[in-house]
A = this chain, B = another copy of it.
Amino acid sequence: MQYKAEIHVTLKRTVNDPQGLAIRGGLHSLGFETVESVRAGKFIEVWLEADSAQEAQRLADDMSDRLLANPVIEDYRVELVAADQARTSPRSAGGGVT
C-alpha cells in the first residue's frame, strides 16, 4: 500500500539559526515589526510503499535518522498521511518528479 510521510526537520532549540534571523530581519524591513522570532526548518514529503502503517512509520523514522536529519543539531517529526490522501503523489499526478 502507498503511504505518504510528512517529515518536519527543525533545528534544536539551543542551536543558532542564521536563516531564521535573516528572515526575521527581512520581515522587520517589510514592516512586520510585531514578529518576535523566526525558526527555519525543512519539510520533506516522502511517498513510499509499505505493508502496513507501522512499517511505513518505521521506515520514515529510519530515513530521518540516517539521512534527512542531522541528529546532533536537528530534531524531526514524522506524520503519516492516510493512504487515500497519499494517492496525490506527484508521480501519479504526472508531476515532474520521477
Shortest CB–CB separation between residue A13 and chain B, in angstroms? Answer: 4
Residues A98 and B37 in contact, CB atoms below 8 Å apart: yes
- Report the bound CA distance from A33 to B22 in whole Å: 37
Q: How many copies does the complex hold?
A: 2
Range for the number of chain A residues in contact with chain B: 35 or more
Residues 1-55 (chain A) with a chain B CB within 8 angstroms? 2, 8-10, 13-17, 20-21, 23, 26-27, 30, 32, 34-50
- Report the bound CA distance from A66 to B36 in whole Å: 18
Q: Is A72 an interface residue (CB 8 A)?
A: no
- Report the bound CA distance from A43 to B69 in whole Å: 14
- Report the bound CA distance from A50 to B33 in whole Å: 11
